[in-house]
Structure 1
Amino acid sequence: MITRQLAEEIVEQTMIRLNRNLNVMDPNGMILASGESERIEKIHEGAAHVARSGETLSITEADLAEWHGVKPGINMPIHFQGKLVGVIGITGNPEELTEISTLVQLTTEMMVHQSLITSHIEWNRKRNELIFEELTSGKPLSAAVHERIFQMDFEGKMSFVTLLIELKKPPSPSHRIIEQLEGHFQKQTVVAGHSQLNEIFLLVANEEPSLMEEELYGLLHFLQKSAPGRIGVGVAVDSIFDIRTSYLAARNALDFGAPGQQLVYFEDVELMALLKRNPQDDLAKFTGRILAGLSEPLCETLTAYFASNKSHTETADRLKIHRHTLSYRLKKILDITGLDPSEFQDAVVLHLALAIRI
């Protein structure tokens, strides 16, 4: 069905080019938009006839007595996907309008097609966003969402993965970036949309897990060219109804991944996520107790030491210090904390304290 807004746009855009009055009518013959504003919302009997017959109707001065609410002109059906959705009328002498009428009809149907297709895509996306929101809310699903999920084709899709894409700035236009992301995964994408202003979700069918990493790096490469951002990858789940688990994992990946890390798997931050779920006061007490007395340079030394897998040579190179200086600092850390960074158990405690300090 043609909306009043679309009808007004058709009349405005077409009249600019034709310099003739146009009317757009609904399938009942009511005028939705017209260059003659006094005719809006009145019934055009000629248009109603066109809607019933599906055939173009020319009305001359001599025919006016046969029709109510009409003027001379040509009235043509407007079709969308094989269905009649309205009627377009050009006011004037039909003999003078013959050459341009077919072009007007074609142009109108193209405008209708573009508008209705775009509206349909946007409606589907909004619906998908509502489905995703309900699936990840942790609350019972509505009957409408249940019905829609069962209508979707999940045949052959053994597992699902949630991807959260955090963009540096809002995409413009936002629908275009989502279409491009959907196209990247093609048939693997189940639903996509906005989860937040600067964040897009993709619920992907994980049909070939071995290819997922390759796909993700390709996606990351695409983002860096068009919409720079980060990707959080959730865990795979075996049922669409378990997507909340995958979503929360992807959320944790973004929340606890290093700021400069562009592709973050939940597995990379799982331990950190588990620890950070504890009360902040408890975390602060733990880090304060373990790291008490350590200066910032000593903390930086420990961070570099663990990042270098406890290699003295690599750590010294990172910090641009002599190996003897490094040994001195590690000995000082042991003296202050009572924990030896070179010992596995003590290193774990120190590493966690550094990682979760506030």
Structure 2
Amino acid sequence: MKLDKTIAQQIVNRTMKIIAKSVNVMDENGIIIASGDPSRLQQRHTGAVLALREKRTIEIDALLAKQWNYEAQPGINLPIHYLGHTFGVVGISGVPDEVRRYAELVKMTAELIVEQNVLLEQERWQRRYKEEFLLQLIQGKADAQAVKQAALFALDANRPYVVVIIKLLKSSMESLRELVGYLELSRLDLHLAVSALDEIVILQSAESAACGTHVLSAQLLPSSINPQQLKVAFGCPMSGLDGIAVSYRTALSTLNYGCRIAPKKQTYRYQEYKLPALLDGLSDWQLVEISRVLQPLYATDEKRVLYKTLQTYFLSNCDPARSAKKLFIHSNTLRYRLSKIEQLTQLSFNKIDEKFILYLATLLKT
């Protein structure tokens, strides 16, 4: 344990607000590293050296200061302890009889500041380690030690989780920091990691996700964050640490497709877009080949009436009555258009594989 200049200066600043006396902080070698009197910085403090060596409070009056050739000024010097170790000294300048009543208060304040900084550093380290671990999981890089690592972060390896992706459309370090802070303070059962400047990945328990518990609440979001500038995608619930990577891929595919088909929506769920999400990884030639079946429709129908009819027909679960109602046309007109589509594409609605190709084409075109 070592005192750095930043923490030492915090001790000086805070204690001098409490008492109207100059305060010095010395490191483990008795060198002044922070002081209410900047001219004393980097000087060796004889009283601090003695306090460290004998591990006790050293009081210096005017006579003793003179005997030491003013290598230390009158005051009281107290060793600072943490977890049983002495790692520095805090000194209060002044006549000992006048500053003695402040001594223990200043010592306690110094030790509390040190403890707070140690705990914050430990928390930062744990958060960073956990974040790296979560990123390994979503990338499918879990190793033999993953179960033990998961236990360190209260992550149940046998519990089903859903990966949630939050995409910031207009991202900045400040907005990202505020959003992470909001999520960490929420009482939801989740684990999170920042995967990019504009992306946060969350592990949410499948139970919470199934109950509809949303990771974001527009009413509670920081005022600097516009809910309309966020996209949220829920992946497929999966059990086991290996399943987390799969859930992430389904969430990413759902996000990609959802942003294309429904750009005004904020939330997308894998269950709503299961098939197109599964098709998200098709190669370029496959996408081109599937989409090519619609080219005859575009070539003869500039207003895309036939394509809109086909799309509505599939969105209506191939129900003719519902399709005609949505299109505001007579059922006979619908039958005519579907027959025309069959003629142009040379694919039949009565053959399941050809009908499925038409359906895929409408999905991928969107």
TM tier, smaller: 0.7 to 0.9
* Aligned residue type for 2:24: N
Aligned to 2:310: 302
| Cα offset, 1:287, TM superposition | 0.5
Aligned to 1:122: 124
| Cα offset, 1:356, TM superposition | 1.1
Segment of structure 1 superposing worse, 309-318 or 2-11: 309-318
Q: What pairs up with 1:18-57 in 2 under 5 angstroms? A: 20-50=21-51, 56-57=57-58
| Cα offset, 1:280, TM superposition | 1.2
1:243 to 2:244 alignment: yes
Aligned to 1:97: 99
Q: Hey, what's the Cα distance between the residues in 2 that align with 1:54 and 1:320?
A: 91
1:234 to 2:235 alignment: yes
| Cα offset, 1:132, TM superposition | 2.3
Q: Hey, what's the Cα distance between the residues in 1 that align with 2:53 and 2:120?
A: 27
Q: Hey, what's the Cα distance between the residues in 2 that align with 1:221 and 1:332?
A: 48
SS in 1 for 2:285: helix
The 4+ residue runs of structure 1 with deviation greater than 6 A are none
Q: Does the CA contact (< 8 Å) of 1:31 and 1:40 recur in 2?
A: yes
Q: Where does structure 2 lack aligned partners over 5 or more consecutive residues?
A: none
Q: Hey, what's the Cα distance between the residues in 1 that align with 2:162 and 2:23?
A: 51
Q: What pairs up with 1:128-277 in 2 under 5 angstroms? A: 128-139=130-141, 141=143, 148-149=149-150, 151-153=152-154, 157-170=158-171, 172=174, 174-175=176-177, 177-184=179-186, 188-189=189-190, 191-204=191-204, 206=205, 209-214=206-211, 216-221=212-217, 225-226=221-222, 228=227, 229-258=230-259, 259-277=263-281
Selected match of 1:288 from 288, 292, 307: 292
| Cα offset, 1:34, TM superposition | 2.3
| Cα offset, 1:23, TM superposition | 1.8
Q: Does the CA contact (< 8 Å) of 1:234 and 1:248 recur in 2?
A: yes
| Cα offset, 1:222, TM superposition | 5.7
Q: 1:310 to 1:238 in 2, by over 3 A?
A: closer
Q: Does the CA contact (< 8 Å) of 1:135 and 1:141 recur in 2?
A: no
Q: Does the CA contact (< 8 Å) of 2:76 and 2:96 recur in 1?
A: yes
The two structures, once aligned, show a CA RMSD in angstroms of 4.0
Aligned to 1:354: 362
Q: Does the CA contact (< 8 Å) of 2:293 and 2:358 recur in 1?
A: no
Q: Hey, what's the Cα distance between the residues in 2 that align with 1:250 and 1:149?
A: 21
Normalised TM-score (structure 2): 0.75
* Aligned residue type for 2:306: L
Q: Does the CA contact (< 8 Å) of 1:220 and 1:263 recur in 2?
A: no
| Cα offset, 1:263, TM superposition | 3.8
1:60 to 2:61 alignment: yes
Q: Does the CA contact (< 8 Å) of 2:182 and 2:221 recur in 1?
A: no
Matched residues, number: 351
Q: 1:151 to 1:55 in 2, by over 3 A?
A: same
* Aligned residue type for 1:300: K
SS in 2 for 1:218: coil
Q: Hey, what's the Cα distance between the residues in 1 that align with 2:329 and 2:105?
A: 78
Q: Does the CA contact (< 8 Å) of 1:160 and 1:238 recur in 2?
A: yes
Q: Does the CA contact (< 8 Å) of 2:165 and 2:252 recur in 1?
A: yes
Normalised TM-score (structure 1): 0.76
Q: 1:52 to 1:245 in 2, by over 3 A?
A: farther
Q: 1:315 to 1:61 in 2, by over 3 A?
A: farther
Q: 1:83 to 1:326 in 2, by over 3 A?
A: farther
SS in 2 for 1:221: coil
Q: Hey, what's the Cα distance between the residues in 2 that align with 1:28 and 1:315?
A: 84
Q: Where does structure 1 lack aligned partners over 5 or more consecutive residues?
A: none
Deviations along 1:87-121, whole A, 9 cap, x unmatched?
A: 33232233333455555445545544444433332
Deviations along 1:182-236, whole A, 9 cap, x unmatched?
A: 45456x44x42211112222234x4xx444322x533243688445333333344
Q: Hey, what's the Cα distance between the residues in 1 that align with 2:49 and 2:234?
A: 55
SS in 1 for 2:214: helix
Q: 1:107 to 1:334 in 2, by over 3 A?
A: same
Q: 1:20 to 1:319 in 2, by over 3 A?
A: farther
Deviations along 1:281-303, whole A, 9 cap, x unmatched?
A: 33113202344333433323322
Q: Hey, what's the Cα distance between the residues in 2 that align with 1:84 and 1:319?
A: 81
